[in-house]
Structure 1
Amino acid sequence: MGRRSDHSREELQTLIVESTLALVKEHGASNVTARQIAKAVGYTPGMLYSIFLNLQDIFQHVNQVGLHTLYKLCEASQKNTEGPEDAIKAMGMAYLQFAAQHTHQFDLMFARSLRDAPASPSSLSNQIQVLFQLVEAQLRTLKPGATEAQLQLGARALWSGVHGTAALRLSNQLYIDTPNADQEIVDILVSSFVNQWCR
Protein backbone atom coordinates (compact mmCIF):
# COMPACT_ATOMS: atom_id res chain seq x y z
CA MET A 1 0.00 0.00 0.00
CA GLY A 2 1.45 3.33 -1.06
CA ARG A 3 1.76 6.27 1.28
CA ARG A 4 0.37 9.65 0.38
CA SER A 5 3.80 11.16 0.93
CA ASP A 6 5.10 9.04 -1.95
CA HIS A 7 3.41 11.34 -4.46
CA SER A 8 2.58 15.02 -4.80
CA ARG A 9 -1.08 16.03 -5.07
CA GLU A 10 -0.70 16.52 -8.83
CA GLU A 11 0.94 13.11 -9.23
CA LEU A 12 -1.84 11.48 -7.23
CA GLN A 13 -4.48 13.15 -9.36
CA THR A 14 -2.83 11.93 -12.56
CA LEU A 15 -2.38 8.42 -11.14
CA ILE A 16 -6.03 8.23 -10.09
CA VAL A 17 -7.32 9.48 -13.44
CA GLU A 18 -5.10 7.13 -15.44
CA SER A 19 -6.06 4.14 -13.29
CA THR A 20 -9.75 5.01 -13.49
CA LEU A 21 -9.54 5.34 -17.26
CA ALA A 22 -7.99 1.87 -17.51
CA LEU A 23 -10.78 0.43 -15.34
CA VAL A 24 -13.47 2.20 -17.38
CA LYS A 25 -12.03 0.89 -20.64
CA GLU A 26 -12.01 -2.66 -19.28
CA HIS A 27 -15.24 -2.81 -17.28
CA GLY A 28 -17.38 0.23 -18.12
CA ALA A 29 -17.97 3.14 -15.75
CA SER A 30 -21.06 1.60 -14.14
CA ASN A 31 -18.89 -1.25 -12.86
CA VAL A 32 -16.09 0.92 -11.48
CA THR A 33 -16.06 1.72 -7.76
CA ALA A 34 -13.94 3.94 -5.56
CA ARG A 35 -12.61 0.85 -3.82
CA GLN A 36 -11.41 -0.59 -7.15
CA ILE A 37 -9.70 2.67 -8.07
CA ALA A 38 -8.01 2.89 -4.67
CA LYS A 39 -6.77 -0.68 -5.01
CA ALA A 40 -5.41 0.06 -8.48
CA VAL A 41 -3.39 3.05 -7.26
CA GLY A 42 -2.30 1.39 -4.03
CA TYR A 43 -3.99 3.78 -1.61
CA THR A 44 -7.06 3.76 0.61
CA PRO A 45 -10.50 4.85 -0.71
CA GLY A 46 -10.44 7.77 1.71
CA MET A 47 -7.39 9.17 -0.02
CA LEU A 48 -9.37 9.55 -3.26
CA TYR A 49 -11.66 12.04 -1.58
CA SER A 50 -8.78 14.17 -0.41
CA ILE A 51 -8.02 14.75 -4.11
CA PHE A 52 -11.50 14.61 -5.67
CA LEU A 53 -14.94 15.47 -4.31
CA ASN A 54 -16.54 12.17 -5.32
CA LEU A 55 -16.56 9.44 -7.95
CA GLN A 56 -18.38 11.67 -10.43
CA ASP A 57 -15.61 14.23 -10.06
CA ILE A 58 -13.05 11.56 -10.97
CA PHE A 59 -15.12 10.54 -13.98
CA GLN A 60 -15.29 14.15 -15.15
CA HIS A 61 -11.50 14.31 -15.14
CA VAL A 62 -11.40 11.02 -17.05
CA ASN A 63 -13.71 12.66 -19.59
CA GLN A 64 -11.16 15.42 -20.08
CA VAL A 65 -8.70 12.77 -21.25
CA GLY A 66 -11.32 11.32 -23.60
CA LEU A 67 -12.15 14.68 -25.12
CA HIS A 68 -8.47 15.45 -25.65
CA THR A 69 -7.99 12.11 -27.42
CA LEU A 70 -11.09 12.69 -29.54
CA TYR A 71 -9.91 16.19 -30.47
CA LYS A 72 -6.51 14.91 -31.57
CA LEU A 73 -8.14 12.19 -33.71
CA CYS A 74 -10.49 14.67 -35.38
CA GLU A 75 -7.71 17.19 -35.90
CA ALA A 76 -5.39 14.61 -37.45
CA SER A 77 -8.15 13.22 -39.67
CA GLN A 78 -8.36 16.53 -41.59
CA LYS A 79 -4.82 16.28 -42.90
CA ASN A 80 -4.56 15.52 -46.61
CA THR A 81 -8.29 16.00 -47.15
CA GLU A 82 -9.61 17.76 -50.23
CA GLY A 83 -11.73 20.68 -49.12
CA PRO A 84 -14.06 21.43 -46.19
CA GLU A 85 -16.71 18.79 -46.96
CA ASP A 86 -14.07 16.07 -47.16
CA ALA A 87 -12.52 17.32 -43.91
CA ILE A 88 -15.87 17.22 -42.09
CA LYS A 89 -16.50 13.68 -43.35
CA ALA A 90 -13.05 12.64 -42.17
CA MET A 91 -13.82 14.05 -38.72
CA GLY A 92 -17.10 12.17 -38.71
CA MET A 93 -15.30 8.92 -39.48
CA ALA A 94 -12.76 9.63 -36.73
CA TYR A 95 -15.64 10.17 -34.32
CA LEU A 96 -17.21 6.84 -35.30
CA GLN A 97 -13.83 5.15 -34.91
CA PHE A 98 -13.35 6.56 -31.42
CA ALA A 99 -16.82 5.41 -30.38
CA ALA A 100 -16.20 1.90 -31.72
CA GLN A 101 -12.71 1.49 -30.27
CA HIS A 102 -13.32 3.22 -26.93
CA THR A 103 -16.94 2.30 -26.34
CA HIS A 104 -16.94 2.40 -22.52
CA GLN A 105 -15.08 5.69 -22.55
CA PHE A 106 -17.47 7.12 -25.15
CA ASP A 107 -20.46 6.04 -23.05
CA LEU A 108 -19.00 7.73 -19.97
CA MET A 109 -18.28 10.97 -21.83
CA PHE A 110 -21.95 11.36 -22.68
CA ALA A 111 -23.52 9.83 -19.57
CA ARG A 112 -26.58 11.81 -18.48
CA SER A 113 -25.75 11.08 -14.85
CA LEU A 114 -22.64 13.26 -15.14
CA ARG A 115 -24.38 16.17 -16.81
CA ASP A 116 -25.11 17.96 -13.56
CA ALA A 117 -22.07 16.78 -11.63
CA PRO A 118 -21.16 19.41 -9.01
CA ALA A 119 -17.47 19.36 -9.80
CA SER A 120 -17.20 19.63 -13.57
CA PRO A 121 -13.66 20.81 -14.39
CA SER A 122 -13.71 24.27 -15.99
CA SER A 123 -11.52 23.03 -18.81
CA LEU A 124 -14.09 20.36 -19.74
CA SER A 125 -16.46 22.84 -21.34
CA ASN A 126 -13.50 24.54 -23.01
CA GLN A 127 -12.44 21.26 -24.58
CA ILE A 128 -15.96 20.72 -25.91
CA GLN A 129 -15.92 24.20 -27.42
CA VAL A 130 -12.56 23.58 -29.07
CA LEU A 131 -13.83 20.30 -30.54
CA PHE A 132 -16.81 22.11 -32.08
CA GLN A 133 -14.49 24.79 -33.41
CA LEU A 134 -12.89 22.22 -35.70
CA VAL A 135 -16.26 21.81 -37.40
CA GLU A 136 -17.05 25.52 -37.27
CA ALA A 137 -13.79 26.33 -39.07
CA GLN A 138 -14.78 24.11 -42.01
CA LEU A 139 -18.29 25.55 -42.11
CA ARG A 140 -16.82 29.05 -42.15
CA THR A 141 -14.72 28.14 -45.19
CA LEU A 142 -17.82 26.87 -46.94
CA LYS A 143 -19.84 29.97 -46.05
CA PRO A 144 -17.57 32.94 -45.22
CA GLY A 145 -20.51 35.24 -44.57
CA ALA A 146 -21.97 33.10 -41.77
CA THR A 147 -22.23 34.76 -38.36
CA GLU A 148 -20.66 33.23 -35.26
CA ALA A 149 -24.12 32.28 -34.02
CA GLN A 150 -24.88 30.52 -37.31
CA LEU A 151 -21.56 28.69 -37.23
CA GLN A 152 -22.07 27.50 -33.66
CA LEU A 153 -25.63 26.36 -34.33
CA GLY A 154 -24.68 24.74 -37.62
CA ALA A 155 -21.78 22.79 -36.10
CA ARG A 156 -23.99 21.50 -33.30
CA ALA A 157 -26.83 20.60 -35.63
CA LEU A 158 -24.51 18.65 -37.89
CA TRP A 159 -22.65 16.94 -35.07
CA SER A 160 -25.87 15.92 -33.35
CA GLY A 161 -26.47 13.72 -36.37
CA VAL A 162 -22.94 12.30 -36.33
CA HIS A 163 -23.13 11.61 -32.60
CA GLY A 164 -26.58 10.05 -32.92
CA THR A 165 -25.32 7.73 -35.64
CA ALA A 166 -22.39 6.64 -33.46
CA ALA A 167 -24.64 6.05 -30.46
CA LEU A 168 -27.21 4.09 -32.48
CA ARG A 169 -24.49 1.92 -34.00
CA LEU A 170 -23.12 1.09 -30.55
CA SER A 171 -26.58 0.12 -29.29
CA ASN A 172 -27.26 -1.84 -32.50
CA GLN A 173 -30.27 0.33 -33.30
CA LEU A 174 -29.55 1.45 -36.84
CA TYR A 175 -31.87 -1.36 -37.98
CA ILE A 176 -29.98 -1.99 -41.18
CA ASP A 177 -27.85 -5.05 -41.82
CA THR A 178 -24.92 -3.34 -43.51
CA PRO A 179 -21.37 -3.60 -42.10
CA ASN A 180 -20.48 0.05 -42.70
CA ALA A 181 -23.95 1.54 -42.37
CA ASP A 182 -22.80 4.13 -39.83
CA GLN A 183 -20.09 5.40 -42.18
CA GLU A 184 -22.50 5.55 -45.11
CA ILE A 185 -25.05 7.42 -43.01
CA VAL A 186 -22.48 10.00 -41.90
CA ASP A 187 -21.34 10.43 -45.49
CA ILE A 188 -24.92 11.15 -46.62
CA LEU A 189 -25.57 13.31 -43.57
CA VAL A 190 -22.55 15.55 -44.17
CA SER A 191 -23.19 15.85 -47.93
CA SER A 192 -26.82 16.78 -47.37
CA PHE A 193 -25.97 19.28 -44.63
CA VAL A 194 -23.21 20.94 -46.67
CA ASN A 195 -25.50 21.22 -49.69
CA GLN A 196 -28.10 23.02 -47.59
CA TRP A 197 -25.51 25.08 -45.70
CA CYS A 198 -24.01 26.51 -48.88
CA ARG A 199 -27.33 27.79 -50.28
Structure 2
Amino acid sequence: MGRRNQHSREEQRRMALDAADALVAAEGLAGFSMRKVALTMGYTVGNLYLLFSNQDDLLAEVSLRTADAMYEYLRGVAAKPKAPLERLQAIAAGYIGFAQKHSFRWRLMFEHYLPPEKWDHPGLNARQAALFEFVEEHLSPLLPDASPKQLRTAATALWSSVHGLCVLSATGKLHWSGLKDVRPLSDLIVRAFVAGLREERG
Protein backbone atom coordinates (compact mmCIF):
# COMPACT_ATOMS: atom_id res chain seq x y z
CA MET A 1 0.00 0.00 0.00
CA GLY A 2 1.37 3.40 -0.93
CA ARG A 3 2.30 6.07 1.59
CA ARG A 4 0.50 9.38 1.57
CA ASN A 5 3.76 11.34 1.48
CA GLN A 6 4.89 9.69 -1.73
CA HIS A 7 2.81 12.04 -3.87
CA SER A 8 1.47 15.56 -3.56
CA ARG A 9 -2.25 16.12 -3.16
CA GLU A 10 -2.55 17.16 -6.81
CA GLU A 11 -0.62 14.09 -7.93
CA GLN A 12 -2.94 11.91 -5.87
CA ARG A 13 -6.01 13.56 -7.40
CA ARG A 14 -4.63 12.92 -10.88
CA MET A 15 -3.87 9.32 -9.99
CA ALA A 16 -7.39 8.88 -8.62
CA LEU A 17 -8.95 10.39 -11.73
CA ASP A 18 -6.79 8.23 -14.01
CA ALA A 19 -7.76 5.12 -12.07
CA ALA A 20 -11.46 6.05 -11.94
CA ASP A 21 -11.51 6.94 -15.63
CA ALA A 22 -9.94 3.62 -16.59
CA LEU A 23 -12.31 1.70 -14.30
CA VAL A 24 -15.38 3.38 -15.77
CA ALA A 25 -14.13 2.75 -19.31
CA ALA A 26 -13.59 -0.95 -18.57
CA GLU A 27 -16.52 -1.82 -16.31
CA GLY A 28 -19.00 1.03 -16.45
CA LEU A 29 -20.86 2.53 -13.54
CA ALA A 30 -22.09 -0.88 -12.39
CA GLY A 31 -18.52 -2.07 -11.76
CA PHE A 32 -17.29 1.11 -10.13
CA SER A 33 -16.31 1.46 -6.49
CA MET A 34 -14.10 3.74 -4.45
CA ARG A 35 -12.34 0.66 -3.08
CA LYS A 36 -11.28 -0.41 -6.58
CA VAL A 37 -9.98 3.09 -7.33
CA ALA A 38 -7.99 3.19 -4.09
CA LEU A 39 -6.57 -0.28 -4.74
CA THR A 40 -5.39 0.77 -8.22
CA MET A 41 -3.75 3.87 -6.77
CA GLY A 42 -2.07 1.97 -3.97
CA TYR A 43 -3.71 4.16 -1.34
CA THR A 44 -6.44 3.56 1.23
CA VAL A 45 -10.11 4.32 0.70
CA GLY A 46 -9.85 6.78 3.60
CA ASN A 47 -7.15 8.69 1.77
CA LEU A 48 -9.36 8.83 -1.32
CA TYR A 49 -12.06 10.54 0.72
CA LEU A 50 -9.54 13.22 1.64
CA LEU A 51 -9.26 14.03 -2.07
CA PHE A 52 -12.96 13.87 -3.01
CA SER A 53 -15.94 14.50 -0.76
CA ASN A 54 -17.69 11.32 -1.93
CA GLN A 55 -18.15 8.99 -4.89
CA ASP A 56 -20.48 11.44 -6.65
CA ASP A 57 -17.75 14.07 -6.51
CA LEU A 58 -15.19 11.74 -8.11
CA LEU A 59 -17.57 10.53 -10.82
CA ALA A 60 -18.52 14.09 -11.68
CA GLU A 61 -14.83 14.84 -12.27
CA VAL A 62 -14.57 11.78 -14.51
CA SER A 63 -17.56 13.06 -16.49
CA LEU A 64 -15.80 16.41 -16.91
CA ARG A 65 -12.86 14.60 -18.47
CA THR A 66 -15.17 12.72 -20.83
CA ALA A 67 -16.99 15.90 -21.83
CA ASP A 68 -13.69 17.65 -22.58
CA ALA A 69 -12.44 14.70 -24.63
CA MET A 70 -15.69 14.55 -26.58
CA TYR A 71 -15.66 18.28 -27.25
CA GLU A 72 -12.11 18.16 -28.59
CA TYR A 73 -13.00 15.19 -30.76
CA LEU A 74 -16.02 17.00 -32.21
CA ARG A 75 -13.92 20.08 -32.95
CA GLY A 76 -11.60 17.89 -34.99
CA VAL A 77 -14.51 16.26 -36.81
CA ALA A 78 -16.05 19.62 -37.65
CA ALA A 79 -12.81 20.95 -39.12
CA LYS A 80 -12.85 18.53 -42.07
CA PRO A 81 -15.99 19.22 -44.17
CA LYS A 82 -16.27 22.59 -45.93
CA ALA A 83 -20.03 22.85 -46.50
CA PRO A 84 -22.05 23.97 -43.43
CA LEU A 85 -24.62 21.17 -43.72
CA GLU A 86 -21.90 18.55 -44.09
CA ARG A 87 -20.10 19.94 -41.04
CA LEU A 88 -23.26 19.70 -38.96
CA GLN A 89 -23.88 16.17 -40.17
CA ALA A 90 -20.29 15.25 -39.34
CA ILE A 91 -20.72 16.61 -35.82
CA ALA A 92 -23.88 14.55 -35.30
CA ALA A 93 -22.21 11.41 -36.62
CA GLY A 94 -19.10 12.15 -34.56
CA TYR A 95 -21.15 12.49 -31.39
CA ILE A 96 -22.73 9.09 -31.97
CA GLY A 97 -19.40 7.56 -32.95
CA PHE A 98 -17.77 8.84 -29.76
CA ALA A 99 -20.60 7.35 -27.69
CA GLN A 100 -20.23 4.01 -29.44
CA LYS A 101 -16.46 3.90 -29.00
CA HIS A 102 -16.47 5.12 -25.40
CA SER A 103 -19.82 3.69 -24.38
CA PHE A 104 -19.30 3.37 -20.62
CA ARG A 105 -17.68 6.78 -20.28
CA TRP A 106 -20.38 8.46 -22.37
CA ARG A 107 -23.18 6.70 -20.52
CA LEU A 108 -21.74 7.81 -17.18
CA MET A 109 -22.47 11.43 -18.12
CA PHE A 110 -26.18 10.63 -18.43
CA GLU A 111 -26.67 7.67 -16.07
CA HIS A 112 -24.89 9.08 -13.05
CA TYR A 113 -27.47 11.13 -11.21
CA LEU A 114 -26.02 13.67 -8.85
CA PRO A 115 -27.89 14.38 -5.60
CA PRO A 116 -30.07 17.54 -5.66
CA GLU A 117 -27.50 19.65 -3.84
CA LYS A 118 -25.04 19.02 -6.70
CA TRP A 119 -27.41 19.56 -9.62
CA ASP A 120 -25.99 23.02 -10.23
CA HIS A 121 -22.49 21.66 -10.88
CA PRO A 122 -20.57 24.56 -12.48
CA GLY A 123 -18.15 22.40 -14.43
CA LEU A 124 -20.73 20.04 -15.89
CA ASN A 125 -23.11 22.91 -16.64
CA ALA A 126 -20.34 24.75 -18.45
CA ARG A 127 -19.51 21.70 -20.58
CA GLN A 128 -23.15 21.18 -21.49
CA ALA A 129 -23.50 24.84 -22.45
CA ALA A 130 -20.30 24.63 -24.53
CA LEU A 131 -21.67 21.67 -26.50
CA PHE A 132 -24.92 23.45 -27.36
CA GLU A 133 -23.04 26.63 -28.25
CA PHE A 134 -20.86 24.52 -30.54
CA VAL A 135 -23.98 23.21 -32.29
CA GLU A 136 -25.35 26.75 -32.53
CA GLU A 137 -22.10 27.94 -34.07
CA HIS A 138 -22.37 25.37 -36.86
CA LEU A 139 -26.12 25.72 -37.31
CA SER A 140 -25.93 29.49 -37.61
CA PRO A 141 -24.62 29.60 -41.24
CA LEU A 142 -27.61 27.50 -42.29
CA LEU A 143 -30.08 29.88 -40.60
CA PRO A 144 -28.52 33.31 -41.20
CA ASP A 145 -31.71 35.25 -40.40
CA ALA A 146 -32.47 33.51 -37.10
CA SER A 147 -32.39 35.56 -33.91
CA PRO A 148 -30.17 34.38 -31.04
CA LYS A 149 -33.24 33.00 -29.25
CA GLN A 150 -34.46 31.20 -32.36
CA LEU A 151 -31.00 29.77 -32.95
CA ARG A 152 -30.76 28.55 -29.35
CA THR A 153 -34.18 26.89 -29.62
CA ALA A 154 -33.31 25.25 -32.95
CA ALA A 155 -29.96 23.98 -31.72
CA THR A 156 -31.56 22.54 -28.59
CA ALA A 157 -34.28 20.77 -30.56
CA LEU A 158 -31.85 19.41 -33.14
CA TRP A 159 -29.36 18.10 -30.63
CA SER A 160 -32.08 16.55 -28.52
CA SER A 161 -33.07 14.54 -31.60
CA VAL A 162 -29.48 13.52 -32.31
CA HIS A 163 -28.99 12.58 -28.66
CA GLY A 164 -32.11 10.40 -28.79
CA LEU A 165 -30.72 8.49 -31.75
CA CYS A 166 -27.41 8.23 -29.92
CA VAL A 167 -29.07 6.71 -26.85
CA LEU A 168 -30.90 4.13 -28.97
CA SER A 169 -27.69 3.24 -30.77
CA ALA A 170 -25.47 3.12 -27.67
CA THR A 171 -27.92 0.91 -25.78
CA GLY A 172 -28.50 -1.52 -28.64
CA LYS A 173 -32.15 -0.56 -29.15
CA LEU A 174 -31.84 -0.28 -32.92
CA HIS A 175 -31.05 -3.94 -33.62
CA TRP A 176 -34.61 -4.55 -34.78
CA SER A 177 -34.06 -2.14 -37.69
CA GLY A 178 -31.30 -4.27 -39.23
CA LEU A 179 -29.18 -1.12 -39.64
CA LYS A 180 -25.55 -1.61 -38.67
CA ASP A 181 -24.56 1.94 -39.59
CA VAL A 182 -26.60 4.78 -38.09
CA ARG A 183 -24.82 7.47 -40.11
CA PRO A 184 -27.63 7.61 -42.70
CA LEU A 185 -30.10 8.19 -39.86
CA SER A 186 -28.13 11.02 -38.26
CA ASP A 187 -27.56 12.61 -41.68
CA LEU A 188 -31.29 12.42 -42.35
CA ILE A 189 -32.17 13.98 -39.01
CA VAL A 190 -29.89 16.95 -39.62
CA ARG A 191 -30.86 17.39 -43.26
CA ALA A 192 -34.62 17.12 -42.63
CA PHE A 193 -34.43 19.39 -39.58
CA VAL A 194 -32.59 22.15 -41.43
CA ALA A 195 -34.84 21.83 -44.50
CA GLY A 196 -37.94 22.01 -42.30
CA LEU A 197 -36.74 25.15 -40.53
CA ARG A 198 -35.90 26.83 -43.80
CA GLU A 199 -39.34 26.03 -45.22
CA GLU A 200 -41.02 27.24 -42.06
CA ARG A 201 -39.14 30.52 -42.19
CA GLY A 202 -40.10 30.95 -45.85
Sort the TM-score into its range (normalised by shorter chain).
over 0.9
Cα shift at 1:80: 2.6
Structure-2 separation of matches of 1:121 and 1:14: 20
Q: Report the aligned-residue RMSD.
A: 1.7
Cα shift at 1:141: 1.4
Among all aligned residue pairs of Structure 1 and Structure 2, give the percentage whose two residues are the same amino acid: 31
Contact 1:68–1:127 (Cα < 8 Å) also in 2 = yes
Residue type of the alignment partner of 2:40: A
**Aligned in 2, Cα 1:127/1:35: closer, same or farther, shift over 3 Å?**
same
Partner residue, 1:178: 179
Count of aligned residue pairs for this structure pair: 198
**Aligned in 2, Cα 1:92/1:162: closer, same or farther, shift over 3 Å?**
same
Structure-1 separation of matches of 2:60 and 2:123: 10
SS at match of 2:113: helix
Deviates more, 1:121-130 or 1:27-36: 121-130
Cα shift at 1:82: 2.5
Partner residue, 2:167: 167
Contact 1:57–1:119 (Cα < 8 Å) also in 2 = no
Q: Give 5+ residue unaligned stretches, structure 2.
A: none
What is the TM-score when the length of structure 2 is the normalising length?
A: 0.91
Deviations 1:126-148 (A, max 9, x none): 11111111110112212223222
Q: Is 1:114 matched with 2:109?
A: no
Cα shift at 1:99: 0.9
Partner residue, 2:73: 73
Q: Give 5+ residue unaligned stretches, structure 1.
A: none
Deviates more, 1:22-31 or 1:123-132: 123-132
Residue type of the alignment partner of 1:179: K
Cα shift at 1:119: 7.7
Structure-2 separation of matches of 1:132 and 1:9: 34
Contact 1:57–1:117 (Cα < 8 Å) also in 2 = no
Structure-2 separation of matches of 1:116 and 1:94: 31
**Misfit runs of 4+, over 6 Å:** none
**Aligned in 2, Cα 1:153/1:104: closer, same or farther, shift over 3 Å?**
same
Q: How does 1:1-199 map to 2 (within 5 A)?
A: 1-111=1-111, 113-114=113-114, 116=116, 118=118, 121-174=121-174, 175-180=176-181, 182-198=182-198, 199=201
